[in-house]
Amino acid sequence: MTVQPLPFETQIFELEKKIEELKKMSELSGESLAKEIENLEKKLAQVKTNIYKSLTPQQKVMVARHPNRPYTLDFIKYIFEDFVELHGDRLFRDDPAIVCGLAKFDGEPVTIIGHQKGRNTKENIYRNFGMAHPEGYRKALRVFMLAEKFKRPIITFVDTPGAYPGIEAEKRGQAEAIARNLREMAGLTVPMITVITGEGGSGGALAIAMGNRVLMLEHAIYAVISPEGCASILWKDASYSGKAAEALKLTAQDLLKLNVIDEIIKEPVGGAHRDHLETAKNVKIAIKKHLMELKGMSSDKLFEDRYNKYRAIGVFAEAK
């Protein structure tokens, strides 16, 4: 998998290029350059660590949007068994921007719902860049209700810039679809775990994200609006997106302090886009831990747990 460089990763890619050149040179000449390669690899690891431990909110936005990040279908492949996809909302059509289905997690039946982006232009047009229409959220609602009926835990993966804002989506009731999902999720009596894997954008994200536990990858983002949208509203200039990203407190680290999320899942050094398998392993460990805790609760307790979680969100200081 070719990883596209981000603007702040120049030094990383220069070192990686040098390492590849030395390896090729060693193969062609037959001369061992193992020591030089080892030294450069150590330097590369240190550079990655230094860069990624001090990312600004704007840089985290870039990482969260990286086209090589793992998406819902990638997590399904690495974490779950016997996945069967369910299609359509039984009202209008199937929306490929949201993937829903049944699977097994360590042998236990679970329900999976998640946003799905594409890897190239053709796939992104098909998936609508992960921006769901109302029928996508109604498909998710149908599967939520199936999980409730058959008492299957729900695991959702969130990665969307937001719900699709086009006129056709508005005509078919985008706001109603999101609002209804929120209402129905609030009343679920089965365990629900949400993982923010990339972008968590506004109501489009929240419409499948009211878990008893909300987990977030280390470099993912979650906010009421995109930094560009916020900048366009506040300063009439999208170039202020960096300033907006700071103000929105959209990073996992900020949101953990505000009680919006419950755990940060560590990413491989250099971001999840560099190692899907290790990222999936970390996500699986986190899901397993929280699922074990939630499975010990009764239906009434699960409902109460979710209610208390969302009542407790937000930390603020009153002016004296």
- Residue 205 is predicted with a pLDDT of 95
Closest C-alpha among 291, 290, 284 to residue 79: 284
- Residue 90 is predicted with a pLDDT of 94
Contacts with 86 (C-beta within 8 Å, 6 or more apart), sequence order: 100, 101, 102, 139, 142, 143, 146
Contacts with 245 (C-beta within 8 Å, 6 or more apart), sequence order: 56, 57, 58, 60, 61, 227
- Give CA 237 to chain center in angstroms: 27
Q: Is the pLDDT of residue 76 over 70?
A: yes
- Cβ burial 174-189 (10 Å sphere, 16+ → b, else e): beebbebbbeebeebb
Q: Is the pLDDT of residue 80 over 90?
A: yes
Q: Is the pLDDT of residue 318 over 90?
A: no
Give the span between the Cα atoms of 320 and 29, in whole angstroms.
73
- Residue 289 is predicted with a pLDDT of 96
**Arithmetic mean of pLDDT, 274-282:** 95
Closest C-alpha among 10, 5, 8, 3 to residue 59: 8
Lowest mean pLDDT of 83-87, 176-180, 309-313, name the range. 309-313
Q: What pLDDT, in 10s, does the model give residues 11-68? A: 888 888 888 888 777 776 766 677 787 888 888 888 888 888 889 999 999 999 999 9
- Residue 244 is predicted with a pLDDT of 92
- Taking all residues of the chain, what is their mean pLDDT, rounded to a whole number? 92
Give the span between the Cα atoms of 178 and 183, in whole angstroms.
9
- Residue 153 is predicted with a pLDDT of 97
Give the span between the Cα atoms of 74 and 16, in whole angstroms.
25
- Residue 9 is predicted with a pLDDT of 84
Q: Is the pLDDT of residue 1 over 60?
A: no
User: 163 — alpha (psi -120 to 50), left (phi > 0) or beta?
Assistant: beta
- Residue 2 is predicted with a pLDDT of 62
Q: What pLDDT, in 10s, does the model give residues 181-226? A: 999 999 999 999 999 999 999 899 999 999 999 999 999 999 999 9
Our CA dihedral for 73, 75, 80, 85, rounded to 10 degrees, sits at -20
Q: Is the pLDDT of residue 285 over 70?
A: yes
Give the span between the Cα atoms of 64 and 199, in whole angstroms.
6
Give the span between the Cα atoms of 184 and 180, in whole angstroms.
6
Q: Is the pLDDT of residue 127 over 90?
A: yes
- Cβ burial 91-100 (10 Å sphere, 16+ → b, else e): eeeebbbbbb
Q: What pLDDT, in 10s, does the model give residues 225-270? A: 999 999 999 999 888 999 999 999 999 999 999 989 999 999 998 8
**Arithmetic mean of pLDDT, 91-105:** 96
- Residue 26 is predicted with a pLDDT of 74
Query: Which segments within the chain are labelled E, that is strand?
Result: 81-86, 98-105, 108-115, 154-160, 192-201, 213-217, 221-223, 263-265
When pLDDT is cut at 50, 70 and 90, the band that residue 315 belongs to is low
Q: Pairing relation of β-strands 213-217 and 192-201?
A: parallel
pLDDT over 90 percentage in the chain: 74
Cα separations in angstroms, 10 against 18, 47, 170, 282? 12, 11, 42, 27
Contacts with 79 (C-beta within 8 Å, 6 or more apart), sequence order: 105, 280, 283, 284, 287
Structural domains for the chain: 9-54 (no CATH), 61-312 (3.90.226.10)
